[in-house]
Structure 1
Amino acid sequence: MDRLVKVDVKEVEILFMEGQKTTTNFTLTNLMHTMSVAVCLSTKNSSFFSFNNQFSIIPPLSSSTYTLFSQPSDQPPLTNPPDAITVKTTMLPLGKAHHDDLRRLFSKPGPHVFKDATLPISFTGPHVIQHLISSNTQMTDMDIWCNKAISGCFGDQLTVLLKSAVVSGKVGLVRTLIDHRGDVNDKDDKGRSLVSLAVEAGHVDVVNALISAGCEIDNTVDHVLHYAAAKNRVDLMDVLFRGYKNMDLIDSIDFNGRTPIHISAIHGHTESIKFCLSLGADPEVLDVNKCTPLHLAALGGHLSAVECLLEVSNYTKYALNGQGKTAFALAVENDRSNVYDPLHLGDALHRSARIGDVNGIKSCISEGANMNGKDQNGWTPLHRAAFKGKTECVRALISYGGDINGVDNNGYTPLHRAVEAGHVEAALVLIGHGAKANVKCLKGIGMGVALKSDCSKNHCCYRGSFVQPL
């Protein structure tokens, strides 16, 4: 005979409730026609589980119901493999025995004792799933436990748990809860979608799972690209843009009239700014206070963001916000001296070099201007002074560390520019301070360029050498 008793279930499910004692029942039936059967029930975790009747006797062809108790606990004792009820049996010819006799009978293993069944114990209910969600460790077989626990969940519990799993970033649990009809389009108390919650929490895998499951967003409340920009999460921004490509996310505005590029600028996130620009974002767009992204980047003193925005729009440097202030004015008000140069001092330094204002040059440098800052053509202040023939400015700029052999976008040095414009004295000052006369520009032109001088032979002599005329 294979077994003496039959069990009415293949697995015992017990509802787990945090801090409470719970129970579940199962039934054993004696398969013997003429003989009683003694039964012994046990589990591995005897401190957590107990039975109403660990040792019992079942008369022939009769059934007996047993109760499994779980002790109060803050968390379910999930193990791998799961705990199980072991059902041991033995024939009892006399049909009667005391409790101690049964204990002694089952304590001596041998052919008289049968192991009739092993019943896995599974925990059900929302408290189990919440434990899986809140667990800091990545527990193995988490999805299996979740699938079993779902049978004890009712009503809106799955949706509440889904929201919690989204925030926690447990993507496997998110997918399982969605598969079991957790409402993927549930909203929070602000009317925001689950995607908003996932983006705010920074879980790109969860965002992908929600988009794949058909989670819808509303541009008027779901400022998802703004949340991603605030975190400088270009990966999230890319997933959102691709997932909702039919929605104009890049130009969507929040309650302050700000687009994602505004938010990127506020936080100084250059990578996010570049991503927004690559998708066609307007670098000159205004928020409700008529602030451009440059205004906000300058207000925060974010140098790399300021430089990035200036590369794509020269106009915004002079744009006035709702209070009539430029980005530079905001930087000054908030003592953001690190952005003074690209916003204003660089312009002032170039202007002083152009008009020959030595005092202006000294003032700009003392205020923190970048000595070798370049304009849109790659010209430094020294290029500008050399081209204009402002010799005293050339001397001043060199004395403050101007790059004598620096090249512009066409590969020209300040000496090239002085020669090109025919300013002999400026060229000689540059050469006298170490400018390389044999440096070639990107176009391959060396210093054999003619100087427009008053020299009768149309060449310029310097220490026995001369610059050849064209």
Structure 2
Amino acid sequence: MDRLVKPDVKEVEFCFTKGEKCSATFTLANLMHTMSVAVCLTSSNPSVFSFSQDFSVIPPLSSSSYTISCKSSDQPPLSNPSDKISVRSAMVPIGNSHTDDLRLLFSKHGRHIFKDALLLISFVGPDVVEFLISHHNRITELSFLFNKAISSCTKSQLTALMEPAILSGKLGLVSALIDAGVDVNVKDSLKRSMMSLAVMTGKIDIVKRLIDSHCQIDFSVDLVLHIAASMNRVDFMELLVKKFPDILVNSVDSNGRTPIHTAAARGHVEAIRFLLSIGGNPEAVDRNKWTPLHSAAAEGHFEAVEYFLNCSNVKYAVNSDGKTAFALASENGHTDLFDSLRLGDALHRAARAGDVRGLRSCVAAGAKINGKDQNGWTALHRAAFKGRVECVKALLEHGADTDAVDDAGYTPLQCAVESGQEEVARVLLASGAEPNPLKCLRRDLAVSGRQISSLCCGN
């Protein structure tokens, strides 16, 4: 004989609700026609589970129901492998036996004791799903429990769990809920779509899963480009622009900031470069009239500042407080930006005007001696072209490059020759300036009755 009793289920399910006691019921049927059967119930975790009756007697061809209770109410006592109920049985000639007699009966080992069944214990319901999501670091270990837990949930219950599943960053959880039929277009408390939350996780596989599931974006609320720009995730932005052609690259948040403002405030040059390539406006202003350059300068992001200076014309734009990008950098002590935002200009102005004192002051304050303007001119180019001999000497003293070339390929010496500044040319040559570039000019420029070209030819 294989067994004496037969359970009505293979798995006992607890519908767990946090804060409430839970229990489950199952039935055992006596398969004997003439004999009563004694039953002993035990669990693999007796500290958590208890039975309404550990020992009982079932009359011939009768059934009896049993209740198993869970002592934990704060959280489902999940385990891997799952806990089990062991059902053992024995024939008894007398229909009724005292509990002590049954305990003694099952304490003896022998052929008269049958192991009729092992019933798995499982936990189901939305509170179990939520618990597993909150412990997502163990989800690989407990994935089979997750799939079981969601099996008894309604679609509305599972849809309510979509947000924490996405924020967990686990594709497996999100996919399981989607496969179970959740509404992927549910909104969070801020009316944002699940796509916004997915982008926040930084998990592109979840974003792709939502796109494939036809998750929609409300461009007035879902600032997905802002979120991606804040993380410098060009791959996200490329995917979003491709899949949502109507996305607005210059969309603004509640403060009027565009995605470029967001990237600028964090110094993400890669994101800035991409946004500009798809039509982003580097001169956009927010509600306080801050340009992206203001945002980058205020936070001290040197590379971003340099990038905006090369692609926009807002160096001297003022915000609603009347402050330029330089003023914000100065307020926040970002001295490495001074040269790019103002000192370089002041140095060039001093060189052009012949203001040696101002020139030295700029250099002392940190101005880059070889810094170039939009045409590639250094301060030495300007001083040479204007014939400011003392400024030329001062610049050379501080390490100015005599052979720096502008965007057209001209050196300071060529500028001096072009403008007929003989004395400056002599100073530059004496300081080691390369005379060969003058040969390509082949121009006779009369200065004080003499030809500048003779300075290099030795005539």
Return the TM-score normalized by structure 1.
Answer: 0.85
Task: Tell me: CA distance 1:21–1:436, structure 2 relative to 1, closer, same or farther (3 Å).
Answer: same
Q: Distance in 2 between matches of 1:142 and 1:241?
A: 36
Q: Who is 1:441 aligned against?
A: none
Task: Tell me: CA distance 1:117–1:408, structure 2 relative to 1, closer, same or farther (3 Å).
Answer: farther
1:405-427 C-alpha deviation (Å, 9 max, x unpaired): 44545666545655666655434
Q: Distance in 2 between matches of 1:132 and 1:184?
A: 20
Q: Who is 1:52 aligned against?
A: 52
Q: Distance in 2 between matches of 1:417 and 1:240?
A: 50
Secondary structure, counterpart of 1:114 in structure 2:
strand
Pair 1:193-2:193 in alignment: yes
Question: Percent identity, aligned pairs only?
Answer: 55
Secondary structure, counterpart of 2:256 in structure 1:
coil
Q: Who is 1:432 aligned against?
A: 430
Q: Who is 1:132 aligned against?
A: 132
Q: Distance in 1 between matches of 2:114 and 2:258?
A: 73
Aligned residue among 372, 375, 382 for 1:374 = 372
Secondary structure, counterpart of 2:172 in structure 1:
helix
Q: Distance in 2 between matches of 1:91 and 1:142?
A: 39
Q: How big is the shift at 1:450?
A: 5.4
- The farther-off stretch of 108-117 and 118-127 is 108-117
Q: Distance in 1 between matches of 2:294 and 2:52?
A: 74
Q: Distance in 2 between matches of 1:101 and 1:410?
A: 108
Q: How big is the shift at 1:309?
A: 1.0
Q: Which runs of 5+ in 1 are unaligned?
A: 439-444
Secondary structure, counterpart of 2:17 in structure 1:
coil
Conserved? CA contact 2:422–2:452, under 8 Å: no
Secondary structure, counterpart of 2:394 in structure 1:
helix
Conserved? CA contact 1:195–1:210, under 8 Å: yes
Conserved? CA contact 1:420–1:450, under 8 Å: no
Conserved? CA contact 1:268–1:304, under 8 Å: yes
Q: Who is 1:28 aligned against?
A: 28
One-letter code aligned to 1:393: C
One-letter code aligned to 1:53: Q
Return the TM-score normalized by structure 2.
Answer: 0.87
Q: How big is the shift at 1:105?
A: 3.0
Q: Who is 1:272 aligned against?
A: 271
Secondary structure, counterpart of 1:24 in structure 2:
strand
Q: Distance in 2 between matches of 1:74 and 1:408?
A: 73
Q: How big is the shift at 1:61?
A: 1.4
Task: Tell me: CA distance 1:78–1:447, structure 2 relative to 1, closer, same or farther (3 Å).
Answer: farther
1:316-370 C-alpha deviation (Å, 9 max, x unpaired): 2244555665444554566654433222322232233234332332233244322
Q: Distance in 2 between matches of 1:335 and 1:66?
A: 75
Conserved? CA contact 1:416–1:447, under 8 Å: no
Q: Who is 1:119 aligned against?
A: 119
Pair 1:282-2:281 in alignment: yes
Task: Tell me: CA distance 1:392–1:456, structure 2 relative to 1, closer, same or farther (3 Å).
Answer: closer
Secondary structure, counterpart of 2:315 in structure 1:
helix
After superposition, where does 1:9-20 map in structure 2 within 5 Å? 9-20=9-20
One-letter code aligned to 2:309: L
- The farther-off stretch of 203-212 and 278-287 is 203-212
Task: Tell me: CA distance 1:279–1:383, structure 2 relative to 1, closer, same or farther (3 Å).
Answer: same
Secondary structure, counterpart of 2:296 in structure 1:
helix
Q: Distance in 1 between matches of 2:406 and 2:43?
A: 82
Q: Who is 2:87 aligned against?
A: 87
1:61-105 C-alpha deviation (Å, 9 max, x unpaired): 111111111002422222221111122223334444332333333
Conserved? CA contact 1:450–1:467, under 8 Å: no
Q: Distance in 2 between matches of 1:369 and 1:53?
A: 88
After superposition, where does 1:142-291 map in structure 2 within 5 Å? 142-154=142-154, 156-244=156-244, 246-291=245-290
Task: Tell me: CA distance 1:344–1:98, structure 2 relative to 1, closer, same or farther (3 Å).
Answer: same
- The farther-off stretch of 361-370 and 171-180 is 361-370
- The farther-off stretch of 231-240 and 265-274 is 231-240
Q: How big is the shift at 1:12?
A: 0.9
Q: Distance in 2 between matches of 1:306 and 1:346?
A: 14
Q: Distance in 1 between matches of 2:55 and 2:105?
A: 10
Aligned residue among 389, 392, 397 for 1:391 = 389
Q: How big is the shift at 1:117?
A: 1.6
Q: How big is the shift at 1:460?
A: 4.2
- The farther-off stretch of 14-23 and 114-123 is 14-23
Q: Who is 1:365 aligned against?
A: 363
Conserved? CA contact 1:424–1:460, under 8 Å: no
1:13-32 C-alpha deviation (Å, 9 max, x unpaired): 00222343210001111122
Conserved? CA contact 2:30–2:61, under 8 Å: yes
Q: How big is the shift at 1:273?
A: 1.3
Conserved? CA contact 2:22–2:73, under 8 Å: no
Task: Tell me: CA distance 1:42–1:468, structure 2 relative to 1, closer, same or farther (3 Å).
Answer: farther
Aligned residue among 352, 356, 368 for 2:354 = 356
Secondary structure, counterpart of 1:139 in structure 2:
helix
Aligned length: 457
Q: How big is the shift at 1:185?
A: 1.3
Secondary structure, counterpart of 2:192 in structure 1:
coil
Conserved? CA contact 1:294–1:309, under 8 Å: yes
Runs of 4+ in 1 over 6 A off after TM superposition: 446-449, 453-458
Q: Distance in 1 between matches of 2:170 and 2:303?
A: 35
- The farther-off stretch of 302-311 and 88-97 is 88-97
- The farther-off stretch of 318-327 and 107-116 is 318-327
Q: Distance in 1 between matches of 2:17 and 2:209?
A: 29
- The farther-off stretch of 410-419 and 162-171 is 410-419
Q: Which runs of 5+ in 2 are unaligned?
A: none
